[in-house]
Structure 1
Amino acid sequence: MSKDKTEAGNRLEGTLGPTERAENWKRLGSQEFDVVVIGGGVTGAGAALDAATRGLRVALVEARDLAAGTSSRSSKLFHGGLRYLEQLEFSLVREALRERELMLTRIAPHLVKPVPFLYPLTRRFWERPYTAAGLLMYDTMGGARSVPGQKHLSRAGALRMVPALKRNAMIGGIRYYDAQADDARHTMTVARTAARYGAVVMTSTQVTGFLREADRIAGVKVRDVETSEEVEIRAHAVINATGVWTDELQKLSGGRGRFRVRASKGVHIVVPRDRIVAETGMILRTEKSVLFVIPWGNHWIIGTTDTDWHLDLAHPSATKADIDYLLEHVNTVLATPLTHDDIEGVYAGLRPLLAGESEESSKLSREHAVARVAPGLVAIAGGKYTTYRVMAADAVDAVSPDIPGRMASSITDQVPLLGADGYHALVNQADQLAGAHGLHPYRIRHLLDRYGSEIHAVLATADDNAELLKPVPAAPNYLQSEIVYACSHEGALHLEDVLTRRTRISIEYPHRGVDCADAVARLMGGVLGWDEDTITREVAVYTQRVEAERASQTEPSDQAADAKRSAAPEARTSLVEPVV
């Protein structure tokens, strides 16, 4: 096969491997783009896909890794925002439910799955009809199209569904459905789909300045943090989709922002599935907000907190107080309390909230805002993960005055993500696939729910080495072929990219990835060309990261936790401030 045909085929597959990275770096400096998107979170990846499928020439640049910030540290839910009904934000709920439906049925059925929740009732007489009315509105707004509607339960019925609850913790319950996804995998898949439609997607590519022509922004200066090479990217328009870094990037552009973004820290803990005996997740009211107990494979995710954060934006730290808060609140309803010893993983993320009138971050707006802050420069911030596609479309619409000619309308509501096509047929063929590759059907279904129809490419990495179909040492939920594929197709460049985002080993195992770090680094090195020194350095940096995170989680305050976490070195050693 000719080199041109191979490159065309890889682009059709949305491949983000070492060869594509080298080619894309050359394209950044040699082509003029219609749009440069800054930020590899779900909004930035969504904007790149939206623009590319409108026929625009697009580049997406990210200083760290795809979903390295907020978009890998959410509650991992595609939900309508049931509690927003109480705040009378009906349009936000309706919009989110529509997006949830699109994900479940058309855009990402391989990645987004229905998940049931129990809403325990604790007040007699008024609470059941009040909550039922809200859920009825939720269902009729679109919440019960592809998932069952609400189901009312007596106390005995609720206890049969969730035996882990204290008998006196409720007087009954209501079961309803939302949806969930691996947020980091979903974001990465959005970016790969953008690449499939022609977008140049580059991670480890830091914006260091802006290009100007008279009074307008005409592109950006970027630096490859892997090689320290620099290049100028010329473009008709730039979209700032950097989330909690929005204000920092705005300062770098030399202009004033039209809105202010506040970072709100949300902490989640992960515990083994057998520590809470239940058939369904739970949503619990707290004095400040709500607490979710979310099924996650062989685990439960419990979260979240909601507090202001003014320290390191790249590495928000969970404190002992954050973890104690979650344990205290979930233990009010559990017959067998959870302890610190039950915790397998902890993660903290920052929500980019639009600063509002209220000083309480839990009441700040979850709606998004788009502003054309200068000719050629648009900023987008706020919103919620579920509505990323709408946010992306609004951001691309906003650059239309800067794009020569007429710009097509958004069509991403009709564009399945990579791996969606053929997914349902492959689920029906799971037994045959398992037999052909010598794997258990459960393993095949697990892979299908992570890769969809891309499963063939994942399994093909083992064509010349059957050992790759064996589990990762000390992390048996994942195959070694997945590690190789993460580097050859999914853009992983560092050990932390694989252990924290391409897989979720860092939060799903008590060792948090340390026990398999060497084995994973060696698999990665085979694709990325690492020598022994590089392997040793990657393992050491990752181990120090885990040690720093563990240390931070024993501290009582944000400042003390941040000091401990910040002591760990960066995997991307040549990142410089401000990081955008």
Structure 2
Amino acid sequence: MNRPESLKKLKSEEFDICIIGAGASGAGCALDAVLRGYKVALIDKKDFASETSSRSTKLIHGGVRYLEQAFKKLDFAQLKQVRHGLEERHIVLKNAPHLARPLALMTPVASWVEGLYFKIGLQIYDAFATNDTLPKSKWLTKKEVLAKIPTLDSKKLHSGVLYYDGQLDDARYCLAIVQSAAEAGAAVANYMEVSGFGRSPSGKLNAVEAIDTRSGERYAIKAKLVINCTGPFADQIRLLANPALTERLRPSKGVHVVLPAATLNSEYAMLIPKTSDGRVVFAIPFEGATMIGTTDTDYKDVTSEPTLNEEEKRYLADTLNPYLAKPIRLEELKSGFGGLRPLLSADPGKSTKSLVRDHEVETDEKSGLISLLGGKWTTYRLMAKDTIDEADLFFSKTNTCTTDSCILAGGENYSFDLWKKLAVAYKLPDNICQHLTRKYGSRADYIGQLTLDNNSLKDRLLDHLPYIRAEVVYTVREEMAVTLRDFFARRIRLEITGWLETLSALPVVADLMARELGWSDDQKQNEISHYADLIQKFISDAKSA
């Protein structure tokens, strides 16, 4: 993943397919297409997974809520969505074992009737998962529940139903897909914003006009086929290709708050089945913190980043607090984040929470643009398969999709005890080695090797956290991190687990990135100021209604 080399290819070569948008679906399409033998370009206006794909609830799941709605409303579209999710769940877990793992989720219940209802529902959920090895659901006693999540309020608790889904580091999982596509031959580049299209005499797209927002340089990327994978921004690209098209998306905002790990004091997650607006909310351990989410509200201005506000903080706290012996205080908030769902809707009067998270592949006959619309993280591979199947039709080819068995970057030769070998080889503390193997998989060894050349790269970014300086160097050289936010938000995830810790680590990370990327002193200070102002805005927005 060498950005200058990719930019040279984008400028001088012609591609079979240019994919716009390097979130999970775009990265998935790039990997699938290049494995089918196509010459592929993949670009994004920001960083890889910088929008929806890094701001999920971090779950790999069929959707317990969709299953409930399917039976209550006899909605077979919801049932299909559950089946697809559970079919894909085991593939997502298998293909990147360092970034995805099983997660136990507890549903607290207040009566035996409620417990029976959830037990039956989760047994049906288990029955749909026919091709994986996750444990089946169990109905646990009050004592068993409290042994697993000791912070629950024992006075209100009758029992609990335990079930399993998967958890992933969404941003790094997307990055692993991009890395795998690049290593298979795709030209990939972040910070390439689309400004227009080149067209053939018949009006079909044959080039993507883009601006490198880091340098201001303009590109015309020649491609026989253009695929739009821009999630909640897909209508912008569709209308740029053909202004006569009608809008298809209803973006929905979902936010999460992040609190100290002591909130649950558990490795188990919680599913909260009763909320004031009929959703389900999750409380999940993630990166040494507790993440609570999510909300679901209409969001009109997709050009502005969704942030957390006081009302949303209060909603999530009020949803969780009835289950806890000691209610959380909003002052405990460590961070929070918002994201947009790319929901498909033909009915503007329908609430966003009732919309199915299914996907559709659309081909515009006038421009030739293929757009992948809708969908969710768990089914990214299936979404990509359907899209590249459509590309096969365009090229009059019949290719086999092999992404179900493609082990992603870092997953090759991975073992769960790899961290022990790192500790011995590089004399690093256990918690640092465990962190490195969970973030970089079998490639954690490359980071260890950097510390042999420069012992100071073993130093932690912050004394109480496992992140080290060598990661900054590695992510710039090998993972195309080009801004401070790339590193903090998507390479190590510190932005979403601790705003104040991010601010504390900024100077040392900026020094290392400046050295690697050749920033001048003025540019370094501008990068620090810009990012620090952004974090301060997040803090301010979270405090204001």
Could you state the TM-score of these two structures normalised by the residue count of structure 2?
Answer: 0.94
Percent identity between the aligned chains? 35
Matched with 1:99 is 88
Matched with 2:74 is none
Deviation at 1:332, TM superposition (A): 1.2
| Superposed CA offset, 1:148-189 (max 9, x none) | 111111222222222211123332111111111111111111
Is 1:515 aligned to residue 504 of structure 2? yes
Deviation at 1:129, TM superposition (A): 2.9
The amino acid that maps onto 1:271 is L
Alignment of 1:392-471 (within 5 A): 392-403=384-395, 405-424=396-415, 427-471=416-460
The amino acid that maps onto 1:553 is A
Is 1:355 aligned to residue 337 of structure 2? no
Q: Measure, in 2, the Cα distance between the counterparts of 1:141 and 1:259.
A: 34
Matched with 1:28 is 10
Q: Measure, in 2, the Cα distance between the counterparts of 1:165 and 1:118.
A: 11
Alignment of 1:192-341 (within 5 A): 192-213=179-200, 214-257=202-245, 260-285=248-273, 286-287=275-276, 288-341=278-331
Deviation at 1:103, TM superposition (A): 2.1
Matched with 1:391 is 383
Shift in CA distance, 215/398, structure 1 to aligned 2, threshold 3 Å:
same
Kept in 2: contact 1:345–1:512 (CA 8 A): no
Q: Measure, in 2, the Cα distance between the counterparts of 1:303 and 1:438.
A: 38
**241-250 or 312-321, which deviates more:** 312-321
When the two chains are superposed, the root-mean-square deviation of aligned CA atoms in Å is 1.7
The amino acid that maps onto 1:153 is L
Matched with 1:569 is none
Deviation at 1:477, TM superposition (A): 2.3
**531-540 or 471-480, which deviates more:** 471-480
Deviation at 1:460, TM superposition (A): 2.0
Shift in CA distance, 129/258, structure 1 to aligned 2, threshold 3 Å:
farther
The amino acid that maps onto 2:363 is R
Candidates 49, 52, 57, aligned match of 1:67: 49
Structure 2: runs of 5 or more not aligned: 71-77
- The secondary structure found in structure 2 opposite 1:244 is helix
Shift in CA distance, 507/475, structure 1 to aligned 2, threshold 3 Å:
farther
Structure 1: runs of 5 or more not aligned: 1-15, 557-580
Kept in 2: contact 1:255–1:373 (CA 8 A): no
Is 1:51 aligned to residue 42 of structure 2? no
The amino acid that maps onto 2:260 is P
- The secondary structure found in structure 2 opposite 1:553 is helix
| Superposed CA offset, 1:386-405 (max 9, x none) | 100111111111222332x5
Matched with 2:75 is none
**256-265 or 266-275, which deviates more:** 256-265
Q: Measure, in 2, the Cα distance between the counterparts of 1:420 and 1:322.
A: 37
Matched with 1:171 is 158
Matched with 1:148 is 135
Deviation at 1:90, TM superposition (A): 2.3
Is 1:345 aligned to residue 323 of structure 2? no
Shift in CA distance, 123/256, structure 1 to aligned 2, threshold 3 Å:
farther
Could you state the TM-score of these two structures normalised by the residue count of structure 1?
Answer: 0.89
The amino acid that maps onto 1:377 is L
Is 1:376 aligned to residue 382 of structure 2? no
Kept in 2: contact 1:343–1:510 (CA 8 A): no
Q: Measure, in 2, the Cα distance between the counterparts of 1:204 and 1:510.
A: 24
Deviation at 1:279, TM superposition (A): 4.3
Q: Measure, in 2, the Cα distance between the counterparts of 1:42 and 1:251.
A: 22
Is 1:119 aligned to residue 107 of structure 2? yes
The amino acid that maps onto 1:315 is E
Deviation at 1:356, TM superposition (A): 4.3
- The secondary structure found in structure 2 opposite 1:477 is coil
- The secondary structure found in structure 2 opposite 1:170 is coil
